[in-house]
Structure 1
Amino acid sequence: MNDSNSALSTCNIGDINALPAGVLYVNHEGIIQYLNTTLQNWLDGIDCIGLPFADILSGAGRIFNLTHIQPSLQHSAQVEEMFVQLKSSAGSLVSLVLNAKRFANMDVYVFTPMGKRQHFEAEIINARKKAEQSAFATNEAYNTLQELQQALEESNRELEALASTDALTGIANRRHFQNAFKQQISIFERTQNPLALLMLDVDHFKSINDSAGHDVGDQTLQRLAELVSSCIRQGDIFARTGGEEFAIIMANTDLDTATNVAERIRTLITTSKFPHQMVTISCGIAVAKPADTPQSLYMRADKALYVAKNNGRNRTEVAE
């Protein structure tokens, strides 16, 4: 590893190894240069220096890396609180929360465990064992177990909702989108019923943040989510997939219908009132083909969105 690298020069390796978080250095070619002791221990002593970062990701994680993590690093030089799964040396999956920052010659990834739920479940399991050992000697012990079980169920429901919902807009988040998208592709493969993916992006969103501040930017995204939700069916899956990027999965929807929906949304956004200024969006549409995978369909819709941006914005383009 190059000693001159700015990402490494900011912290002594001994200090990094003492952190209660996993740290990974990956060069811009995607090759792992260093991992600290904490992350290595979480991954059962894995030896991955010199390997591609994708090699320690789960199958879904590899797609997520291509479609979200790397684009975020390229466009905004950082990634915030993304759920990923890494493969240990034994092949098991370790669930972690990822934050990352791009430096001049290196990407620095910081991983923290999804400990809240695991800690809570450990307490419940321990309480259950104690109750079983006492053979429910008293009604008080039995009632305590029932209360704890109910608390676990409620906690699981809350955690599942948090894990699937975008905190700012209240719509689905990236994680829910990924899972739902894979399910819809599987359904399409079995039935060949039409499936459309609509991606949309707020035009010149950075200028809104720069001129009016991030609070107004957040209000703009919240307002947009409300307007789009009013234009789609109850069964459509509407998700925020990036900072100002959104996607809609539309089952049983052909190209003409998807195009009409996109144009209806685009027109509504253009003619609606927003906190700071008029807002426009660009849209890209792709419909599933027999050979499509989640990654290929996503890439075709994303490419159509890119064409809409390049052709002047505030328009809808359809993938080939």
Structure 2
Amino acid sequence: MQNISQSLAEQLRIGELELSRRKRLLDFDHTDAANLLECLPLIAPRIGELVNDFYLAQTQQPEISLIIGDKDTLSRLHGAMRRYVTELFSGDYDGEYVSSRLKIGQVHHRIGVSPKLYLSGINQLTGLLETCLQELLAEHEERFLRTRRSLQKLMLLDNQLVFDTYIAALQSEIENVNHQLEEYASSLEQTVAQRTQELTDLSNRDPLTGIFNQRAAQKMFEPLKQLADQSLKPICLWYLDVNHFKMINDGMGHSQGDKVLQQLADTIDQTIKQLPKGAQGYASRFGGDEFCVAIFGLGDAQQQAQIQQFFGRLKAIKAVSLSVSLGAAFYSPGHGIEPTLEDLISRADSLMYMAKAVAHGSGDNEVMMDNLPEDTKVQRIPSRA
């Protein structure tokens, strides 16, 4: 990033030491400066004519004529060129001269003069200047030769300075393009990550209710089981379905059936979010009107309390008459064979069907739960909501 408080020479790091080094490399010294200054009185009256000849030849080239564009621009270019030729024979080639040359390069680049066109113009200008000097110094061949040599050195120095600005401008353009590409790549990466996350969420979510699907539930169980094994705290798995769901679909329509499932999913999700501190879990839809809830960190009495709160929330739904049958199976680390998710679901599913048999025709919520530690005892928890 360029510092706009710096001069162009400072930005390009062309100070006094660098300018001196460049002059030495071209063998340009005070003798050359004196040679050129000595010719200023001779060439000054010819500068206007020389500049006219230069632009007359330049405008014959379609590329140059197109860049110049109009009469006013051409007039300004005439004035700038007259000043440039005067400076060539000024004998002063230090900081101010360098700044002037750098600005020439900057302007040429901005208006679209390519390096090949610039060099073509400089070659033409050099030829006109040498022809003019030869005419003015026709009787002083030695003086002409040394002045011409001094002019050639200075023109080479000028070309270096001008092309420094061309190169710097191109580097700046490349940096800008790279910066834009980096921003685009970063934006694209974020978009891809967002879309990937969205697709992952979609693949893990039930489209109707928005809670996790069966596939996600299977992936999430193992980390929860590891947490239970490490902490020696239990997992309770609820498996539940809606009582008389077919009658709701057949009698009230599938849209109402969908609404029932969505309200049930919202109630389950609300229960998960309001678990006591230290407990955690997830809910998923296993298909149709069947749902699975896995809760870590609560004993049987606490689980009973959570189930009763869940039933209470269901009773609070006024839009539809909704009741469920629920089976709850425990996994307690250190007691018996370690079950898989399928094992727990199978046990909870069996308990759920036992609860459904009890609830048959009553319209009440019913739950059957096995005890801690895991054994064959099963208790019915009556609905008090």
Amino acid at match of 1:281: V
Amino acid at match of 2:308: E
How far apart, in 2, do the equivalents of 1:260 and 1:242 lie? 26
1:261 aligns with 2:301: no
Q: Which has the higher Rg, Structure 1 or Structure 2?
A: 2
Contact 1:198/1:258 (8 A) holds in 2: no
1:307 aligns with 2:354: yes
How far apart, in 1, do the equivalents of 2:283 and 2:250 lie? 27
How far apart, in 1, do the equivalents of 2:310 and 2:184 lie? 51
What residue is the counterpart of 1:103 in the other structure? Answer: none
Amino acid at match of 1:255: D
Q: CA deviation at 1:230?
A: 2.9
Amino acid at match of 1:298: I
What residue is the counterpart of 1:211 in the other structure? Answer: 251
Tell me the TM-score normalised to structure 2 length.
0.44
Q: Count residues in correspondence.
A: 185
How far apart, in 1, do the equivalents of 2:250 and 2:329 lie? 32
Tell me the TM-score normalised to structure 1 length.
0.53
1:187 corresponds, among 227, 247, 252, to 227
How far apart, in 2, do the equivalents of 1:230 and 1:147 lie? 36
Q: CA deviation at 1:236?
A: 2.5
- Higher strand content, 1 or 2: 1
How far apart, in 1, do the equivalents of 2:196 and 2:294 lie? 26
RMSD: 2.4
1:296 aligns with 2:343: yes
Q: CA deviation at 1:139?
A: 4.2
1:257-312 CA-partner distances (Å, limit 9, x unpaired): 112212222243235213xx411111111110432222222211111111111222
Q: CA deviation at 1:144?
A: 3.5
Contact 1:198/1:283 (8 A) holds in 2: yes
Contact 2:238/2:294 (8 A) holds in 1: yes
Amino acid at match of 2:367: T
- Any idea what SS the aligned residue of 2:212 has? coil
1:318 corresponds, among 369, 373, 381, to 369
- Any idea what SS the aligned residue of 1:239 has? strand
Matches within 5 A, 1:147-296: 147-232=187-272, 233=274, 235-274=280-319, 277-289=320-332, 290=335, 291=337, 292-296=339-343
Residue ranges of structure 2 left out of the alignment (5+ in a row) = 1-175, 371-375, 377-385
- Any idea what SS the aligned residue of 1:231 has? helix
How far apart, in 2, do the equivalents of 1:222 and 1:293 lie? 28
How far apart, in 2, do the equivalents of 1:227 and 1:140 lie? 48
Amino acid at match of 2:304: T
1:67-123 CA-partner distances (Å, limit 9, x unpaired): xxxxxxxxxxxxxxxxxxxxxxxxxxxxxxxxxxxxxxxxxxxxxxxxxxxxxxxxx
Amino acid at match of 1:296: D
How far apart, in 2, do the equivalents of 1:186 and 1:294 lie? 12
Contact 1:196/1:250 (8 A) holds in 2: yes
How far apart, in 2, do the equivalents of 1:243 and 1:288 lie? 26
- Any idea what SS the aligned residue of 1:230 has? helix
Q: CA deviation at 1:154?
A: 1.1
How far apart, in 2, do the equivalents of 1:160 and 1:141 lie? 27
Matches within 5 A, 1:54-65: none
Residue ranges of structure 1 left out of the alignment (5+ in a row) = 1-135
- Any idea what SS the aligned residue of 2:230 has? helix
Contact 2:245/2:289 (8 A) holds in 1: yes
- Higher helix content, 1 or 2: 2
How far apart, in 1, do the equivalents of 2:284 and 2:302 lie? 19
Amino acid at match of 2:321: M
How far apart, in 2, do the equivalents of 1:279 and 1:139 lie? 59
Contact 1:263/1:316 (8 A) holds in 2: no
- Any idea what SS the aligned residue of 2:215 has? helix
How far apart, in 2, do the equivalents of 1:209 and 1:250 lie? 30
Contact 1:266/1:282 (8 A) holds in 2: no
How far apart, in 1, do the equivalents of 2:308 and 2:206 lie? 25
Amino acid at match of 1:270: K
- Any idea what SS the aligned residue of 2:359 has? coil
